[in-house]
Every structure is written in C-alpha cells, then in structure tokens.
Amino acid sequence: MPAPDPLHDLGVRTGPDGGTIRVWSEHATSIELEVFDDGDVGWATSRAPLVRDEHGVWEAASAALVPGARYGLCVDGPVGLEHAFNPAHTLLDPYARGLVPVADGSWRGVALEALVDGGFDWSGTTKPRIPLDHTVVYEAHVRGFSKLNDRIPEPLRGTYAGLAHDASLEYLTGLGVTTVELLPVHAFVSEERLVRQGRPNYWGYNTLAFFAAHAPYATAAAQAEGAHAVRREFAGMVRRLHEAGLEVVLDVVYNHTAEEGRQGPTYSFRGIDNAAYYRHDAHGRYVDTTGCGNTLDFGREPARRLVLDSMRYFADELQVDGFRLDLAATLGRDDHGAYTPEHPLLQAMLDDPVVGDTKLIAEPWDVGPGGWQTGNFPAGFSEWNDRYRDRMRDFWLGDLRRERETGTAGSGIGRFATRLAGSSNTFSVERGPLASLNFVTAHDGFTLADLTAYDTKHNLGNGEANRDGTDNNNSYNHGVEGETDDASILSARRRSIRNLLATLLLSAGVPMLTAGDEYGRSQRGNNNAYCHDSELTWLAWSDSELDARLLATTRRLLRLRAENPAIRPVRFGRFGESTPSASQMDWFNAEGTTMTIDDWHSPEQRTLQYLAASTPEFEAFNRILLVVHAHETETEVSLPTHEGVTGYTRLWDSSGDEPVDVGADHAPGERIAVPPLSMVLFRAHGER
C-alpha cells in the first residue's frame, strides 16, 4: 500500500455537522481558528485551537464551519529574522475557496462546499480537448474583453458572465480561435504602491489566494449574493465556453504572493510561516527571483503541494483546460535556487492524472540568476518563445528600418525560416514544434498596431516618469511617431501588421493572438498598461474603432491555418525519413531552385519559397507553398518545380487591405510578380 499522504485535505472540508480545517506550518507554536458573525466579519463568534501532528499539519473540527462561514487563523510562533508571527493578526487560510474583505485591510476565508454539492449543473458539457496542433490561443482579460460591448447587457459587461454571453461566444468562434487564455483570475489585490498612487493593478499579477476566483470580475448580483455565487458564475463561464467548443486556460501566478517585500502587508503566508513558505538568504532577507518582493520556496514540499492542489482544484472541480505559468523558471528552482527541468514540481505537474491532462504553458524565465530558460522545460510543456517574438519583429520591422537608413537589412532570411518552421534550434526533436508557443505580442508590451506606430514607449500615464516598461521593443513607426494622417505611412503600417499576423498564424508551433490585435487595437504607445482599468486597455467594439479589413484578414488566416495541416506539424521531420504528422519542408529561392548558403545568409537575398507537405496520420494529405518577400521593391519568383506538384492555387496574399477568397491557378515554373514586403500563400496540387 502507498504511504499515507501527510498533506492531504488541506483547507476546509464542510459537512452537515460543521467542518474540519487543516493548515500546514512548520514553525508555529499555536494556531487558533476564528469563525466570524455572518453580518460582522470583525466579530468572532467561535474559536477552536488546532492540534499539530508530526508532519507540521494543524487540524481542528468546528460545528461553526458550515458552508458560507467566514473564518480566519491566529498564528503564534518564535521570534527571529525569518519569522513574522503575530497572534493578534487574523490571517487568511492559503486554501480558502472564497473570500470576504474586512475594513482594516485583512481578509476572511469563506467555507464552500464542493461545487457539485452546491447544486451546480455542468449540463453534460465536457472539456473540448483540442489537440495542440489545432490550438490557437487568444490571450484576453476578463474585464477588458466585454466591458465596452453594447451587444451585452450592461450589468454583465466586464464580468465572467459577459465573457460567457452569446455575443462574446459568437465573436470568438467566428474569429476562429480555439482556446481563451485569461489573464489572472485568482483573487488578487493591488500593490500598496499603486494604492497610494490611486491606481489599480489591472492585469492581476499579485495573487492573494490561489483557490478563489477574483470576485470583482463577477456581476454585482453575484458579488452581493456571496462567494458561492462568484464561484458559480465562474464555473458557468467555463461551461458556456465549453458548450461553444472553446477551451479555457488560466494565466496563474504561483511564483510570488501579494505580501510583497518584508515591509509589505501580511495577509496569509507570512504570518502562518514566513520562514518556510518564502525563500531567504543567510541574513533572513527574501530571495527575490520574481522582481515582486518575494519568492515562494519550491524547494519545499508544502509550497509545491499548494500549487498542485490549486491547479487540480481548477482543472477538476472548475473544469479549466490548462494553465499558463507566470515566471515559470521560479517554479523549477531547487533547494539551492538553481533551475532544473527535473524539478519535483514540474515533474509532478506532468505526472498528476488531472493536471498532467491539461495544457501546460510555461513563461520560461524569471529575473533571478540563470533565469532565461527558453527551450529547457521538460517534454509536456509548451513555452512562450521569446526568440520567435524577437526574430519576427526584427525581420519585418527592424530590418526594414535598417534597410531604409543604411541601404541594407543587415541579415538574411535564414533565422526567420528557422522560426517559421518551428524553432528546431531551440526545442529538441523529442519535444517537437508544438513545444513552441509562438507570439508576436502579449499583454506585456506594445499591441500589434502600436508595434508599427511607435519607436519608443509612451508610459507617462503610469506615474513612473516613463521609466517602467521595456525599451527593447523591436518596433518601427514607419517614419512618424504615433498618430498620423499620412496615407502612405498608414498603408505601410497596415501591411506590416498583416505580415506579422500571417507570420504568426502560418508558422509551425502553437500561435497566441493578443485580444484586439485582430482588428488593430492601440494603447497609444503604452507598453506597460498594467495599471490602467479604462478604455485604454478595454477592447473597442464600435465599428468606428475596428479595422474591419484587418479583422477579415485575421479570420481568413485562421481559417487557412485550420484547413491546411502542412502548416501545423506535430513533429519535426528527420532527413531521409518519413515521420508521421511531420511536414516535409523544401526551401527555394526566388528562381525556384534550392536555397544555397548564400541565399540563407545574404541581406540582399530576402525572398524565400517554403514548400511544406504533410505526412498524414489523422488528416488528409496537404501541401502548401508560402512565398516570403522582404524587400521594398517588387520582384518576380519562379514557382518551384517539385515531384508530385502539378499546380498552385493562390489562397491569400498580404499586399492588399482586403483578403482575397478565391485566387488564380499557376503552373510550376511559372514566373509571377510578388509585391514589395509581402507574403503569398498557395495550395499546391498533385500527388504525394
């Protein structure tokens, strides 16, 4: 028989005769449960001491711990550099499923029964389980997505229910994305610095509780009804998205907590066992690999278990489909603070029967020593590929600037092609192209439209004298900073946007589209809009603010990606072998001959023809030809002559504002004109 699990059932479990609470603390000398009056969360009506076992787990039963009970913990312990015990403070249970605020700035947990016991009906819905090669991630903010959508009733806008409304679902399914990745929805608070400035933490990367959905994203009616109604609305959102065939992935922030640095607020972990939950140096100071004041210590089993239990709760009871792990290198740091892909937490995620069955996406870096780990996560994780982001931005924007300023782009097309084909120089053959989560923009940084309109960040509205946000944007304003009426500059910007969108959606790997980029949303040059909960960050829905032509282009590209499996291989091919679900890739220059070393590396030779043929395993055979031309002058290409190819049908090109649904047929060897700075996609006909 397996050994008993000493950390089982942490948090509150309710029953008809009350409930039981279990809390882990290695160094505490006493813990007391307080249960508070339903109408006054400052008045404790019941107290019970917790008893410690040999594993540091403290437990108590109380008849007052019924569903809906508000409760907290008073914890005492030794004095010392690493300790912060204060029995006068009422602390939040780290496993609390629901929360209620107190006027003094502290929080109470709310005891919740299992969701199904509360009468929630999943109506037979199941997880869509979309294969990675069919996945298109859409990164969105719960509040910002629907706040301005007048097709949604006003009380629902900016809420979980607003995201689940028919108008939202019709838009998302009509766009063609498969997987909605939500910025943090774990309960969070704004940093004390922002509160003093009168600004909010809009993005939510400041977690207060890892088991509770953020209440302000629920409707006012649900908030008034209480924590159980907030959770029910969140689950209802997941159910509705699943009914529409859409997955839900959560951006989760396990690397640090809202308790900030040592002088920050004490909500939970610091008062329960500061020395055991956080990393410290020999002098008792926090080791901060997150840049946020503190770092959870994943060299210890209780911190690892906290993460796994949280993920399992959301994936099982609340049925979410996956997780994007913020600053995930921190989650893989061992007892000595060094990152290792064999870290017990990362391996446990993969091995867990619930968590390991979800999509796992790592942001593969943090700000600590050796923190950049792109390509170094274990098989089973996809990773945000910052190398892809930087190369594609530089190819279409930085190189264009250099060519205009110096007469040469400075680099050839080889590194672009490597990223287009799945970044095999970053991810191993065993992991394959789907280990690469491709993105050009994300919530953090310029929007796609701003990437083509601003050379520098414009963050004065953030209150930090424009010091915050990255200066390494790889952007290009095309000659004028910001807004302009110059038709030629506006046309050039739209062309660059189309090229970047096409590159993203036609690349091997898993693409991530940032909400609003599909129609040209701008943040007026702010590349760090984390503290703006306003129309600056909310999605626009009025016709006057949407570029309908760009939206149609995005929809067209997403449809083409879905229809052509050669674009989305599952595996890397091996030379001379036939690998199932890989794409056979052949590369030709403008003359239709195989690329030479000079063709790959010469800044003057920036025209490429990419012929990709699928190796069928689950879908019919498919072959495409993508022509990429990255000079500002028109050129001619000779379409490749290749065994089995009898002709090419033009599917789309990036030269015009309007997407073309039906194109001309061309023969192998035929010479065709390719407009400046453009991409042309063909379907190749013939036999395998």
pLDDT digits (tens, 9 = 90+) for 176-201: 999 999 999 999 999 999 999 999 99
Q: Between 544 and 652, where is the model more confident? A: 652
Identity of the residue numbered 672: I
The first and second tokens of residue 198, run together, are 């009168």
Sign of the four-CA dihedral 148, 151, 153, 159 = negative
What angle is formed at CA 280 by the lines to CA 274 and CA 286, rounded to 5 degrees?
85
Question: Using CA atoms, how far apart are residues 436 and 560, in angstroms rounded to an integer?
Answer: 20
Cβ-count burial of 358 within 10 angstroms (0-12 exposed, 13-18 middle, 19+ buried)? buried
User: How many CB atoms lie under 10 A from the CB of residue 220?
Assistant: 11
The residue whose two tokens read 């061309």 is 666
The first and second tokens of residue 28, run together, are 């505490």
Query: C-alpha 375: how far from its chain's center?
Result: 17
Antiparallel, parallel or unpaired: β 11-15 and 207-213: unpaired
Q: At what angle do helices 269-277 and 301-312 cross, to 10 degrees?
A: 130
Sign of the four-CA dihedral 327, 331, 334, 340 = negative
Q: What is the mean pLDDT of residues 380-399?
A: 98
User: How many CB atoms lie under 10 A from the CB of residue 622?
Assistant: 19
Question: Using CA atoms, how far apart are residues 18 and 506, in angstroms rounded to an integer?
Answer: 56
Query: The pTM is what?
Result: 0.97
Antiparallel, parallel or unpaired: β 671-674 and 607-614: unpaired
Question: Using CA atoms, how far apart are residues 687 and 86, in angstroms rounded to an integer?
Answer: 75
The first and second tokens of residue 560, run together, are 């083409």
Sign of the four-CA dihedral 185, 189, 194, 197 = positive
User: pLDDT class for 578, splitting at 50, 70, 90?
Assistant: confident
Q: Is 187 within 8 Å of 97 (Cβ atoms)?
A: no
Same fold yes or no, 11-118 and 577-686:
yes
- The closest alpha carbon to 669, from 591, 609, 595, 587, belongs to 591
User: pLDDT class for 1, splitting at 50, 70, 90?
Assistant: low
pLDDT digits (tens, 9 = 90+) for 291-325: 999 999 999 999 999 999 999 999 999 999 999 99
Q: What is the mean pLDDT of residues 440-458?
A: 98
Q: Is 254 within 8 Å of 307 (Cβ atoms)?
A: yes
Q: What is the mean pLDDT of residues 573-582?
A: 82
Q: Is 71 within 8 Å of 21 (Cβ atoms)?
A: yes
Which pLDDT belongs to residue 241?
98
Q: At what angle do helices 487-505 and 386-393 cross, to 10 degrees?
A: 150
Question: Using CA atoms, how far apart are residues 627 and 594, in angstroms rounded to an integer?
Answer: 14
Q: What is the mean pLDDT of residues 335-359?
A: 97
Question: Using CA atoms, how far apart are residues 383 and 328, in angstroms rounded to an integer?
Answer: 10
Residue 410 gets the label, from left (phi > 0), alpha (psi -120 to 50) or beta, of left
| Mean per-residue pLDDT of the chain | 96
Which pLDDT belongs to residue 118?
83
Residue 408: pLDDT above 80? Answer: yes
Residue 576: pLDDT above 70? Answer: no
Cβ-count burial of 579 within 10 angstroms (0-12 exposed, 13-18 middle, 19+ buried)? middle
Identity of the residue numbered 418: T
The first and second tokens of residue 288, run together, are 């901060």
Sheet holding 44-49, edge to edge: 44-49, 30-36, 70-76, 107-110, 98-101
User: pLDDT class for 2, splitting at 50, 70, 90?
Assistant: low
Question: Using CA atoms, how far apart are residues 233 and 238, in angstroms rounded to an integer?
Answer: 9
Class in CATH terms, 577-686 = mainly beta
Question: Using CA atoms, how far apart are residues 297 and 302, in angstroms rounded to an integer?
Answer: 9
Q: Is 588 within 8 Å of 594 (Cβ atoms)?
A: yes
Question: Using CA atoms, how far apart are residues 239 and 361, in angstroms rounded to an integer?
Answer: 22
Identity of the residue numbered 279: R
Could you tell me which residues come within 8 angstroms of residue 118 by beta carbon, excluding any fewer than 6 positions away?
A: 67, 112, 228, 232
Which pLDDT belongs to residue 16?
79
Residue spans of the domains in the chain: they are 11-118, 577-686
pLDDT digits (tens, 9 = 90+) for 37-95: 999 999 999 999 999 999 999 999 999 999 999 999 999 999 999 999 999 999 999 99
Question: Using CA atoms, how far apart are residues 434 and 428, in angstroms rounded to an integer?
Answer: 11
Catalytic residues: 326, 363
Q: According to CATH, what is the number of the domain 11-118? A: 2.60.40.10
Which pLDDT belongs to residue 662?
64
Question: Using CA atoms, how far apart are residues 507 and 492, in angstroms rounded to an integer?
Answer: 22
Cβ-count burial of 460 within 10 angstroms (0-12 exposed, 13-18 middle, 19+ buried)? exposed
Antiparallel, parallel or unpaired: β 107-110 and 51-52: unpaired
The first and second tokens of residue 89, run together, are 């403070």
Q: What is the mean pLDDT of residues 505-531?
A: 98
Cβ-count burial of 679 within 10 angstroms (0-12 exposed, 13-18 middle, 19+ buried)? buried
pLDDT digits (tens, 9 = 90+) for 199-258: 999 999 999 999 999 999 999 999 999 999 999 999 999 999 999 999 999 999 999 999
Residue 429 gets the label, from left (phi > 0), alpha (psi -120 to 50) or beta, of alpha
Question: Using CA atoms, how far apart are residues 392 and 583, in angstroms rounded to an integer?
Answer: 21
Q: At residue 361, what are phi and psi to the nearest 5 degrees?
A: -120, 120
Name residue 437's beta-bridge partners: 384, 510
